Structure 1
Amino acid sequence: MERQHTETGAGLLARIERAVGTGDATHRAGSGSGSGWTRLDTTGPYTGDLALRAAATRDVYAGLLAQGTYATDPGLAALIAEAVADPAAPSPAPWPPNPSLRFTRAGLAHFALIRTAALPGPANWIYAQGHSAGEYAFGATPAEDRFTLAHTSLATWRAATAALGSGLIPTALMRDLAAVWAGDEATYRIPWDRIRPRWCGSTPRWAAATTRAART
């Protein structure tokens, strides 16, 4: 029987460390919550540079499949669980203003939720900012960072991620999503011409996957 592999949540910490080492997370986390962020429609397909980037993302996931990695663990559930259990404890992830220091567990969980786009990873570039609306500001030390979630509390995130079980994301799903963003109908095709809006009284109700263009 062929052995199936998964990428564990430890991969998220490793990717943060690589990004901090190159300065990428520091630079992007410093961007404003509005200006400078590309707002994308994640239905697709995209055009131009975005389509090329989506094709590169597709190739990353196709490569993982070829290596026998059929699912990945984003690691978010574990980060949130640790943040709820012991928020002030140091995490394993380096702190962007000074990589010799470490995020607190609460800081890391909020950073991953609010500044998802600042993290490395094949598909994080699709986010305008992050999984959750909020603000994150670095302080003089990791313990002095200030962060807040705008709508969904960390306790709600904890309950939601805990309810997901393993939280594994099928690699083939991500490959196919990226193929749609790239307009690669040879890998995965959506019959756009068969998708129609549905109207209910005077309020428009759109069927799934009706919007196609990227927004800025």
Structure 2
Amino acid sequence: MNVLIVEDDARIADFLMRGLRAEGYHVQRAATGPLGLEMAQQAARDAAQQATPSVVVLDLMLPGMSGMEICQTLRAGGVQLPILMLTAMSSLEDRVNGLRMGADDYLCKPFEFEELLARLEALGRRARAVQPGRTQLLQVHDLVLDRESMRVSRAGQPISLTARELALLELLMSAPGRMFSRERILANVWGHNEDPLTNVVDVYIRRLRAKVDEGHPATLIQTMRGLGYRLERVESNMA
């Protein structure tokens, strides 16, 4: 996924760029409002041509043109790139105004990088959902998820999952081999209002593993102890 950071604070921008690139994102940065608008418009054109999802991380206070103005201009021009507004202005009125101008999400400074990642992943999933070139079938080894019908099978045998289990499995299958922390899973599947101390992720992973892995020689759902979970083909039943 491509991420455009529109942020004039060099320290914050450098922190975000290094962190996101380490997570495998393609990252660009604009330091002024007018340049940010131009790059966002170009990113929208590129996304349409390449079927590659892009997300804009947009600071509110920018030289030359505010984040609110950029957001409003993009939406007025029909640009539907997901926008995460990033700002130190945290009042309810500021958040409401940002969302009304067309932002998809709002994150206040200071913030935890893990939460930023989770929000970007959620926005990226929305972006992929509306793209014509979106892959409808996800497959890892002999596990198949049809995103259109939301049906799951393994080795040709159907698996019955609840809506939450489906959402969790789709997240893991969207990036085989990638480790998802409990916090990122919680934010993506349950939302940002869920208690971060809850063990609901571990409970659902156990349920999912019982339905997906039990009775099969290859264990797909892997536990990265102390870190999180990932989905990949292995030859052992050890998790």
TM over 0.5: no
What is the TM-score normalised by the length of structure 1? Answer: 0.27
Structure number having the greater strand percentage: 2
